[in-house]
Chains A and B, each alone.
Chain A
Amino acid sequence: MPYFGQIYGNSSSAHWAGREAERAVENAREVMAGIFNCKPTEIVFTSGGTESDNLAVRGAAWTQRHKGRHLITTPVEHSAVGQTVSQLVARMDFESTVLPVDRHGQVDIEEFAGAIRTDTVLASVVYANNEVGTINPIPRLAEAAHERGVLFHTDAVQAAGQLTLDVQVLGVDMLSISAHKFYGPKGVGALFVREGIDLLPAQSGGNHEEGRRAGTLNTPGIVGMAKALELVYSELEARTAHYRRLRDRLVDGILSRVPGSHLTGHREQRSPSHASFVFEGVEGNMLLMHLDIKGIAASSASACKTGNPEPSGVLLAMGYTPELASSSLRLSVGKDTTDEDVDYAISAVSEVVEKLRRLG
Chain B
Amino acid sequence: MMQRIVVAMSGGVDSSVAAALMVEQGYEVIGMMMRLWSEETASGGAHNRCCTPEQMNDARRIADKLRIPFYVLDTKDVFRRTVVQYFIDAHRDGLTPNPCLECNRHIRFDWLLNNALALDADYLATGHYARVDRVDGVFRLKKGLDDAKDQSYVLSVMGQNELSRVLFPVGEYEKPQVRELAVKFGLPTAGKQDSQDLCFLGDGNYRRFLSEHAPEIMVVGPIVRRDGTVIGEHAGLANYTIGQRKGLGVQAAEPLYVIGMNPLRNALIVGTADELGSSELIARRVNWVSGIMPESSFRAEVKIRYKAKPTPAWIEPLPDQRMRVTFDQPMRDITPGQGAVVYDGDVCLGGGIIERAAKVN
Interface residues, chain A, CB within 8 Å of chain B? 283, 285-286, 289-290, 292-293, 304-309, 355-356, 359
Contacts and interface: CB of A to CB of B under 8 A. Distances in A.
Contacts, number: 45
25 contacts: A285-B74, A286-B73, A286-B115, A289-B71, A289-B119, A290-B119, A293-B69, A293-B119, A293-B120, A305-B60, A306-B53, A306-B72, A307-B34, A307-B35, A307-B51, A307-B56, A307-B72, A307-B73, A307-B76, A308-B74, A308-B76, A309-B74, A355-B118, A359-B114, A359-B115
The 10 closest A-B pairs by CB, nearest first: A307-B35, A307-B72, A289-B71, A307-B74, A359-B118, A355-B118, A309-B74, A307-B73, A306-B72, A308-B35
A309 B69 CA distance: 19
A292 B72 CA distance: 13
Interface string B42-65: 000010000101001000100000
A contact face: mostly helix, strand, loop, or mixed: helix
B210 interface: no
Contacts of A304: 72, 74
B53 A356 contact: no
A304 B35 CA distance: 11
A193 to B, nearest CB: 37
Given A293-B69, A305-B72, 14 more contacts: A289-B73, A289-B119, A290-B119, A304-B74, A306-B35, A306-B53, A306-B56, A306-B72, A307-B35, A307-B51, A307-B76, A308-B76, A309-B74, A356-B118
A212 to B, nearest CB: 36
A293 B30 contact: yes
B80 to A, nearest CB: 13
Interface of B: 30, 33-35, 46, 51, 53, 56, 60, 69, 71-76, 114-115, 118-120
B69 A307 contact: no
B294 to A, nearest CB: 34
A299 B231 CA distance: 64
A290 B4 CA distance: 14
Contacts of A292: 69, 71
A305 to B, nearest CB: 6
Nearest to B75: A307
Nearest to B46: A308
A33 B330 CA distance: 89
Contacts of B72: 304-307
Contacts of A293: 30, 69, 119-120
Contacts of B46: 308
B69 to A, nearest CB: 6
A355 to B, nearest CB: 6
A285 B30 contact: no
